[in-house]
Every structure is written in C-alpha cells, then in structure tokens.
Structure 1
C-alpha cells in the first residue's frame, strides 16, 4: 500500500506541474496605459496575504511537493492590479489590514469552495445600493406583466446563446435535434405567447433537456489508464445531472469530471456577476424571475443575471474538455464518489473561463 500511495503522490505532483505550466503560458502583452484584465488566481495550502510597507504581499499556496512558491507584491493604484483575486478552496491566512487595503483599492477577494460555490466575497467597493435601481427591481418583481417580460427577455437571450454554443462546440449531427427544439422554444418565448412564469420555466426546462442531451456520448481523451484507472462513465460525457444521495437530480456534488469543471466555471461566473451587480448599485438579493425559488433565495438577482451567460461558459468548458488529454491523477474521488479537481487544474479552469 505504501508503494501505491507513493506512486499516487508522484502522479499528483506531475499532473499539477503539467497544468501549472499551462497556467503560466505567455499572455497577450498589455498596453502601456491598459489596466490588467485577468483575475489573480490563488490555490493550495498556506496561502498568505499581508501588508508589507504599504503593499499587498501575496504568497501562493502549495499544491504538491517539490514546488517553488510564487510570491507577488501589489502596489496601491498600480495599473497591473488585477480586477479581482480568486481563492480556490485551499487554506491560508490574511489580516484585517488586508481587508482594508482591498476595500481601499476596490479589489474584491472571492473565495470559491471545492464544489464551485462562492463561499464569500470581501474587500472590493463595498455595498452602496442605488435607490432608483433597487426601486426598479422591486417594481419589476411585483408587477406580473413587467416580471414576465423581464423573464422572457432573460430566457430568450439564454436560448440564443445556447444555439450559438451548440453550433460552435457540438458536432452538427448531435446538435441538430437540440437546435430544432431550442428554436421552437425561442419562437414561443419571443412571440409573446407565454402566459406565466411557470409556463416559461417549463419551456426552458424542455429546451435545457434537449441542449444537454446533445452532449451525451462526446468522448473525453484519457491516457495512462492502467496506472491511474478511471470509472467507465468518465470516458464520455453522459449529461449534466448526477444522482445524489437523496436520489434527486443534483449537480452540486458532481461525480463526473465535466460536471466538476462546470461547477467551478459557474461558481466563477456567479462571483463575477455578483461583483458587477454590487458595483452598479443593484441589490443582489432582490430577484425578479428567481425571487420565489428557495434555492435562489440568498442572491436571487445574481441567479437572474447569469442566465443569459451560462451557455457562453458551457462553450469554453466544452472546448477545453474536448481538446485536452486527462489522467486519473487530475481528479480525486471522495469516499461518497464526489469528483474533485486537482488545485492546478482548477486554476487552469479559471484561466479558461477568463478567456485566456
């Protein structure tokens, strides 16, 4: 057993180095007066953020051994300040001085847990609601006609984006049935024939079923399967949903690599939209379409506004998954069968979502 464990540790380190090398590939040169556009992504154990001589000194965490620790120093008002800092699971420490520094610079720190959920957002520009925008949210939510019109617009844009993803990322033969269904759904939503939110959700659900069904059977590429065995179900994409312990359909505890990657990607989208809404003065808790759904009760307006952007994330994830060669060492399976990404692979997914 010790020998097998040692081999697993070596493979884990090797694959983290593999993905780390792709995270550090050369990026597009930034113009002299252009601000940084990519988020700073931290992961691993022992991450440290502290104030040193008025600057923010960051030490990245360890994901494997041996590993050279990355150290960064950010200066106040500098053009190379990232738009946000993403902390992927892991562990570490920071001080109240760091929180003050981040708030002063309008730089949010987003912690994303291993399931891809946003655990917390600190720093940044704070929460300053605009009364007119919050009033618009309340009035739109409370007026049935306005609420339905707003929701139809959201789902219409989501369906249009889904069609684009199908045409770009899915083979034409597999995509054809889904395209037909989604075009029909788009006709209903855009034609003014939808009478209620419940009817709209039913139309959306049927379109989503066809959309994700078109992914089924797409093959993922794996190597070294004898050294690092994987479940047969991982060889292909088998749909978005997985059966959880409650026997209900759920994606939260993903048991397939694609779903685990999508959870991370959606978590990052969620954090980005939340930050944008707060910065613009909206109340992220006052949902319009989702305000009556228990699972969206916390930040219902964020759930509203990510709807049209989900399919764009799907396209990036599908392109990444179908063009990469994976190993069993890239993922860990918990005792309950839940699939987790290695830290550096999770970081690579963040770069993919950011469009690098």
Structure 2
C-alpha cells in the first residue's frame, strides 16, 4: 500500500521492525512488508531509524508540497539503472524513436479521454448533445497522429499544441457534468483556482510519485524526456510517461464530484488559490488509492492499476534497448474501458 501522512505533527519512527506512526497520545504500528511507498504531505517528522527501515525494504519516501506535487524523495540504492539505457534515452531525444515514443504516449492519453467521455455519455441518456463537439475535437486531434517526415522540434511543438487543444475540449466537457457550484473554466495547476482542479492536481501529484519510482526501478533517467526536453532540472521523462496514466486520476476526481462525495468544507480558498485542507485530503487519498489498488485485466492477467505503471516503464526501457531495425516491443497496453 501507499502510506500517506497528511496530519500535521505526525512522527514516524521505528519500533520492533515496524513503522510506528505517533500523533499526540495515539500510535499505530505498520509492517514495512505492507508498504510500497511513504508520502509525506504536511508538517511531519521522520526518524533516521524509520528511514533506514524503509530503505531496507525498498520503500521510497516522497515529500509533497501543499498542492500534492513531489518536491523531493529518499530512495533505495538498489536501482535498476544501467548506463546503456540512459545512453539510449539521450540518443532517442534527437531521433525519430523519441518522437514516436511520445506520440504513442499522447495517443494513448487521447484514446483514454475519448473512451472516458463515451462512457460518461452512455451513462447519461438524453445528454448526448453535450458530448458531440468535444468528442469530435479530440478525435480530430487523434486522427492527426502520427507525424510523418517532420523535423523533430517542429513536431514536438505541434504535438504540444494539439494536446492543449484536445485538453481544452475534454475539460470543458467534464466541467458541464459536475454540480453547478463546482463547474470550472479550465485547467489551473499551481495554484488551482477551483475545487475540481485542486483535487485533480493532488491526484496527479500522487501519480507523479509512482511514475518517477517506476522510471528509477526500470533504469530510466527521470530527467531525460522526449517531449518535455527543454525543462532544465525538471523530471522530463516523468512528465512524458505520466500522460497515458492521467486517466486514473481523471476518473477518481470526476466520480468524487459527480457522486457528491466532495464538500465545501474540504477546501481552503483565498484570493489567489484553492487547495485541499486536512478534511479533504484523506477523502481524496483514500479514493485514489482504492482506484490504484483495484485489480484489472492487463496483458491477459489480473494486475493492480498501480503495478501497470511499473510494467510499462520496464517495457519502455526494453524498447529503448532493442536493436535498430528490430521489431519494436509492444507497450502501453492500458485498457481502462
């Protein structure tokens, strides 16, 4: 499981080979065998003994800011890193393979958006007109992929522009499905300008941590991406690889609001931002973890969603290592709908 610490004043230590969480006069012991990662999202303390115990059990520790974005992490030294994989990443940045990989990721993201909107449409008989224009806009973008014989930098810029166009239609459609008071004008990131985006950003933050861990375990360098190649000191590959998995967070957030699970008291707002507060974070974390831990069909097996991210990162590494001219290994077999 993913252990999320979001209560200020929590102290994490080690007791009898267990992780002990202390909050005032309360204490909870958790076996490290049950924990995959620890997310610390608020003012908390962790002892060196707890850090060592976590690292001995291959548990990475992630520190998150107010908006749910990872700002740092402690991970174990036994990574799957190899120099060859990273050299192939650098080579792919400037050749057609890198472009094809990022087209694959964006195409899967668009397919997920289309299938999700169609699922929502079928669940709302009589409201088909609300979905027609957004579906057509996203399908138009999807049909324009892949790019052929286009200079790499031009292709990247065009791809990001098309992705933004599709995203605008997608989120406008989702907004119209929410209770009126939670409808929003568009995507807002850091900071969020409305409750929906505050919740979505927090779920994306949880995904970023999983994607970065998957990269590290697969020997991939999180800082060498194919689409977001110019972000100095940014985890460009994490920004790329998260795209086909954003649907996990999208579904959780939409169903929290359409299912009327979110309340006004879950958010703190000021003149410049809206954020989840201590009452809202546990609701979102529980829903996101429940979705990630749900078992789905993946490559003819039953696999938890959170492990699909790791499997696909390994496939990306194998794809980069494949000999030039050889048949490309299959990847991004994500079937949510």
Q: Same fold (TM over 0.5)?
A: yes
Which residue matches 2:282?
347
CA 183–194 in structure 1, closer or farther in 2 if over 3 Å, else same: farther
SS of alignment partner, residue 174 of structure 2: coil
State the distance in 2 between where 1:238 and 1:146 align: 38
What is residue 176 of structure 2 aligned with on the other side?
217
**Structure 1 residue ranges without an equivalent (≥5):** 1-37, 63-67, 221-233, 243-250
Deviation at 1:215, TM superposition (A): 2.2
**2:239 pairs with 1:239:** no
5, 12, 15: which is aligned to 1:49? Answer: 12
Tell which structure's C-alpha radius of gyration is larger. Answer: 1
Cα distance change of structure 1 residues 312 and 342 upon mapping to structure 2, 3 Å threshold = same
RMSD over aligned CA atoms reads 2.3
Could you tell me which residue of structure 2 aligns to residue 229 of structure 1? Answer: none
2:29 match: secondary structure: strand
In structure 2, the residue corresponding to 1:282 is in which secondary structure?
A: coil
Match of 1:104 among 56, 59, 81: 56
1:140, distance to aligned residue in structure 2 (A): 0.6
Quote the Cα distance in structure 2 between the aligned partners of 1:337 and 1:354: 29
> 1:78-130 CA deviation, whole Å, 9 max, x = no partner?
3xx221122222x1211222221111110112222211211222244555522
In the alignment, the residues of structure 1 paired with residue 253 and residue 82 of structure 2 have an alpha-carbon distance, to the nearest angstrom, of 35
Write the mapping of 1:71-110 to structure 2, written as runs, cut at 5 A: 71-75=27-31, 78=33, 81-89=34-42, 91-110=43-62
The change in CA–CA distance for 1:216 and 1:52 in structure 2 (over 3 A counts) is closer
2:138 counterpart of 1:182: yes
Q: Among 245, 254, 258, which residue is 1:318 paired with? A: 254
Cα distance change on mapping 1:353 and 1:193 into 2, 3 Å: farther
More divergent stretch after superposition (128-137 vs 186-195): 186-195
Contact in 2 for aligned 1:140/1:146 (Cα 8 Å)? yes
Summarize the Cα distance change of 1:325–1:103 in structure 2 as closer, same or farther, 3 Å threshold.
closer
Which one of the candidate residues 208, 223, 243 is aligned to 1:285?
223
- Structure 1 position 166 matched with structure 2 position 104: no
CA contact (8 A) 2:208 2:242 kept: yes
Change (3 A) 1:184 1:310: same
Q: Which residue of 1 aligns with 2:200?
A: 262
Dislocated runs of 4+, deviation >6 Å: none
CA contact (8 A) 1:169 1:315 kept: no
Preserved CA contact (<8 Å) 1:43 1:88: yes
Distance 1:330 1:278 in 2: 34
Match of 2:303 in 1: none
- Counterpart position of 1:306: 242
Deviates further, 298-307 or 193-202: 193-202
Distance 1:208 1:268, change over 3 A: same
Q: Is the 8 A contact 1:174 1:215 kept in 2?
A: no
Q: The residue matched to 1:343 in structure 2 has which SS?
A: coil
CA distance in 2, matches of 1:163, 1:194: 26
Offset of residue 342 of structure 1: 2.3
- The offset of 1:302, in angstroms, is 0.4
| Equivalent-residue separation in structure 1 for 2:287 and 2:52 (angstroms) | 30
CA distance in 1, matches of 2:29, 2:6: 17
| 1:300–1:209 distance in 2 versus 1, CA, 3 Å | same
The answer to whether the 8 Å contact 2:224/2:235 transfers is yes
Superposed displacement of residue 192, structure 1: 4.3
Aligned partners of 1:166 and 1:121: how far apart in 2? 35
1:26-74 deviation line (CA, Å, top 9, x unaligned): xxxxxxxxxxxx3122211111111223332122x58xxxxx84x3223
Q: Does 1:252 align with 2:211?
A: no
Aligned partners of 1:346 and 1:72: how far apart in 2? Answer: 19
Unaligned runs of 5+ in 2: 292-337
Give the aligned length.
283
